[in-house]
Every structure is written in C-alpha cells, then in structure tokens.
Structure 1
Amino acid sequence: MRNTLIICTALIILSACGQLENSNSTVISLSYEQTDIQKQFDTLYNYQQTSMGAYKGFIEQALAICHGDKTDTITQDVFSSMYLNQQTGRYDCITTTVFQFPNGTISATGIFKLTPGDTIAPDHNFPITGGSGVFKDIKGTYTREYRNGVYHVELKYNILQQEGY
C-alpha cells in the first residue's frame, strides 16, 4: 500500500511539473533552405561500398545559416555518424545539432533512420541536451520538418529552476 501511495504521489508531481513546463515554454522558430547549407562528407571504412551508392558508414558535417524573426545570424552546426544496418538496409544516424546564437548555444542529440540515396533526413524531434550562455540551464525539444523546399525548425524549451543553497 505504501509503495502504491509513493508511486501515485510521484506521478501526480511529475504530471504537475509537465503542465507547468508547457505554460512557461519559450519557442524559437527558424527556417533555412538547401542553398543555406554547406556540407562535408567523409566516407568511413576505406570507401567500402556495400552496393551502388551505399557505404558501410560515413560522417556528415553540415553548417546552415538559419533565418528567424530577428536580424541576428544563427547557425546550425550538424554532425552525423551514419552506419549501414545490414539487417534493415538503412543507415542508423546519430546526430548532434548545435544552434549558435549571439548570446549562447543550444544543442540537441537524436537518432533517425535514412535510406541510402535519400538526400534529406526525415522530420525529427530530438531532446535538447544542453546549452551555453543564456541557454545554460534549459531542457526541451528541437523539431525539424521539411516542407516545400524549406526546413522549418522549432526550439521549444524551459529554463530549469536552480535551487538556492
């Protein structure tokens, strides 16, 4: 009985925290197009191809100039390690994205699958894993969607409350 009470209390607290989090969220909306992206690829495993256009793995680095509602220059620096999963025939992509603002950075990390030959990663939602400057103590979500030739980015986050000593 005591364990049930503790679990129920914890669920109520977590539920309340989630509701509070949503009401205080900050949202940054950005966009960029293919022409805003600079890319660099490095094929792994001595350029070993498993089939035409599919390598055992590669690394992609990309830098995109993002456009928002302010005139500040915001860059998105992406680093992806992509390894071909022999069972699925798709790349397992581990991606870290860092958004560089004039007053700090926001970083997010996540995983998605990519079919060899695809040139655009699927839409994704990654957790925000850190930040610096004014974004030092945040948590949230990085969402990226591709529609009609435009990448749409939403950074939704909350500042974590620091307890006093």
Structure 2
Amino acid sequence: MKPILVVCTILLAFTACKQHKDPNPAVIDLTYQQTDIQKQFDTLYNHQQADSGVYSGLIEQALAICHDSTGKGGAITQDVFSSMYYNLHSKQYDCVTTTVFQLPDGSISAIGSFNLTPGDTIAPDHDFPVTGGSGTYHHIAGTYTRKYRDGVYHVKLSYYKTDQQ
C-alpha cells in the first residue's frame, strides 16, 4: 500500500508542475538579411587547426537587426552567441547557440544545438526551445524557429505564458 501512495504522490507532483500550454500561442514573425548582421568569429585554442581550413573550435558572436512583419514592432535585435567545437569523429562542428531577441517591451531567449559542416557559412534551419524572457515576456515558453530561404532569414517566435506567476 505504501508504494502505491508514493507513486500517486509523485504523479500528483508531476501533474502540478506541468506547465499549461496554450493551444493558440502568440507569434512574432521577423526577417533579416546578411546585410543586417554584424558578425565576429574568434578561433579557439590559439588558432589550432584540426585540418586545412578547419579549426579545433570557433566562437561566433552576431547581432542582427530584425524587421517585424507588421512594420510597427520598433527596434528588434537578435543577439547570438555560438560555441562550435570540431568533432573529429563526425567531421562537423558541434554547435551550442544562445539567442536573445531584444524587443521594445522585453526580451525572449532560446538555446539549442546543431551541427555545421566546415565551410558552411549559414547554420541549418532550426527550432530551439524558448528558455525564458524579461519584461512582457517574463514566464514564457515556446519555440524559436529560424529558416533561411533565398537570402532571407525568417524567424518565428511562438510563445505562451506559463502558469508560473
């Protein structure tokens, strides 16, 4: 009887901690182009190369001026920090990226990972979980989606308020 009580208590605790997911999340659509990006790459390990033109690791810092699809969103920037380490086994960079969108009424942050082939200059399309925010976006969850098509980066921030207050 005692194990059943423990299991029920654990299930009740998980149910209480589960965040409410809104079936109709708020969406912010943004775009930017290569000319909107200020970028800085730093090589790690004193420029050690794993192969010709392939570094052991890179850090990328980029700031992009984003354009709101409605045209009335005010100044919006995307601040990106990526650590890229060359994986000798896969022959690709293992990348971990933190992205923060600065909006007029707060910020939205997301973290994710992807693989990048040496020589590629554009990260693959990705969906990263929104990890939080500030201001209007305090206590949110959701998804940051980025797709690259015909020279334009398309960003969709889909989010909802969590039950945390």
TM-score clears 0.5? yes
Say how many residue pairs are matched.
Answer: 156
Partner of 1:82: 84
TM-score (norm 1): 0.86
Aligned mates of 2:21, 2:50 — CA distance in 1: 46
Name stretches of at least 5 consecutive residues in structure 2 with no aligned partner.
none
**Runs of 4+ residues over 4 Å off in structure 1:** none
Partner of 1:70: 71
The answer to whether structure 1 residue 101 and structure 2 residue 106 are counterparts is no
Q: Residue deviations 1:122-159, cap 9 Å, x none? A: 00000001100000110000000000110000000000
Q: Percent identity?
A: 60
Partner of 2:139: 137
Q: Residue type matched to 2:137 in 1? A: F
Q: Residue deviations 1:89-127, cap 9 Å, x none? A: 000000000000011000000000000000000000000
Partner of 1:33: 33
Name stretches of at least 5 consecutive residues in structure 1 with no aligned partner.
none
Aligned mates of 2:108, 2:133 — CA distance in 1: 4
Aligned mates of 1:155, 1:50 — CA distance in 2: 36
The CA RMSD measured in Å over matched residues stands at 2.1
Aligned mates of 2:164, 2:36 — CA distance in 1: 37
Q: Residue type matched to 1:99 in 2? A: F
Aligned mates of 1:87, 1:144 — CA distance in 2: 27
Q: Residue type matched to 2:26 in 1? A: T
Classify the secondary structure of the residue corresponding to 1:35.
Answer: helix
Q: Residue deviations 1:47-67, cap 9 Å, x none? A: 011112210001000000000
Aligned mates of 1:70, 1:127 — CA distance in 2: 25
